[in-house]
Amino acid sequence: MQVSSLQREPFTIAQGKGQKLCEIERIHFFLSKKKTDELRNLHKLLYNRPGTVSSLKKNVGQFSGFPFEKGSVQYKKKEEMLKKFRNAMLKSICEVLDLERSGVNSELVKRILNFLMHPKPS
C-alpha cells in the first residue's frame, strides 16, 4: 500500500506593478489594527490561499499588485470571488485598503480590484 503525500507548491509573493501595501502609511496602520481573522478573506483574495495566523499580516503587507492584466482570466476569477463576499466583508476590505466604503456591491468590487491592480497611496 502506497500513501502519497499532498504536495503544495511553495508560497511565493509575486512582484506587482504597484507599491507594497506595508509601505503605504494608512494601510500599514489599518493592517496593524485588524485581527488576523478579519484579514483572512483579503489574504485569500490576494494569494488564493487562506494563510497562516503567523504570516497573514506580513503577506498582505508584502502585496504589491496582481501580476496579470485587467480583463484576463485571472482578473475575472478575482472579480467572481469578490462578488461572492457580503457587503460588510467588502466594506471591511475597503477599510483596510483605505478606499471609499460607500456604494453598492458592484461598485465596491470594481474599486477594490482597480486598487489591487496597482496599489498606491490615495
Task: Delimit the domains of the chain by residue range.
Answer: 25-117
Percent of the chain at pLDDT exceeding 70 = 89
Residue 106 has pLDDT above 60, yes or no: yes
Tell me how crowded residue 65 is: count the other CB atoms within 10 A of its CB.
20
Q: Dump pLDDT digits (tens) for 91-105.
A: 999 999 999 999 899
Q: How confident is the model at residue 4, as a pLDDT?
A: 52
Higher pLDDT: 3 or 69? It is: 69
In this prediction, residues 62-91 reach a mean pLDDT of 92
- DSSP-based three-state secondary structure for 109: helix
Residue 5 has pLDDT above 60, yes or no: no
Cell of 63: 502585496
Tell me how crowded residue 35 is: count the other CB atoms within 10 A of its CB.
10
Q: How confident is the model at residue 93, as a pLDDT?
A: 94
Q: How confident is the model at residue 10, as a pLDDT?
A: 61
Q: Which residues contact 64 (CB under 8 A, 6 or more apart)?
A: 15, 16, 17, 18, 19, 20, 21, 119
Q: Do the Cβ atoms of 65 and 16 come closer than 8 Å?
A: yes
As a whole number, the mean pLDDT across the chain is 87
Measured CA distances, 28 to 17, 95, 99 (Å)? 18, 12, 13
Q: How confident is the model at residue 85 (pLDDT cuts 50, 70, 90)?
A: very high
Query: What does pTM read for this prediction?
Result: 0.84
